[in-house]
Structure 1
Amino acid sequence: MAMVKKSITVTDQQEQWMQAQLASGNYASDSELLRDLIRKEQQRNAEVEAIRLKLIEAEQSGFSSRTPAEIISDVIKRKQSNGEI
């Protein structure tokens, strides 16, 4: 994987937070910390996009004639059959 060198500017408050992260031993360098933050944001964005697509799909599927209690019951049954609960 090729690496690109970047120069960034952060606020004093951000620098203090970054130094606290380094002092805690969670990260060995500023670069490692920033790469981890970027990876986490990329993952969060992918999760948000997946949820957005599911919501669009649900909206396009129309309204359900089932009651809320029926929906909850079906979800519980599905989770039980999948071993989730």
Structure 2
Amino acid sequence: MARQSISLTQPNDEWLKNQVHNKEYSSKSELVNDLIRQARNQQVQIDWIKNKLEKAEKSGFTSDTKAQILKQSKDLLNG
């Protein structure tokens, strides 16, 4: 695993320490990695929505209903 040195603001460092202290995570590293995984997953979702919107804008319309788009979005969110 790659090692990194990062600087944190006091409130962020305290929050991380509290999460570890409350046994939510075993270490700050585990928590930071989890936050990064969550951000990466969110980016996948954002990219999917962005691509759908761009496709719709280029075609002038989409044949998908609101319900279909909502279902696809929820399916993507739930993995």
TM-score range, shorter chain: 0.7 to 0.9
Matches of 1:37 and 1:21 in 2, distance apart?
12
Partner of 1:61: 59
Gaps of 5+ in 1: 65-70, 80-85
Indicate the structure whose relative CO is greater, using CA pairs within 8 Å and at least 6 residues apart.
2
Q: Which has the larger radius of gyration?
A: 1
Residue correspondences, number: 67
User: Percent of aligned positions with the same letter in both sequences?
Assistant: 36
TM (norm. structure 2) is: 0.74
Inter-partner Cα distance in structure 2 for 1:55 and 1:63: 10
Normalised TM-score (structure 1): 0.69
* Aligned CA-pair RMSD: 2.0
C-alpha offsets along residues 53-73 of structure 1, whole Å, 9 cap, x if unaligned?
000011112148xxxxxx66x
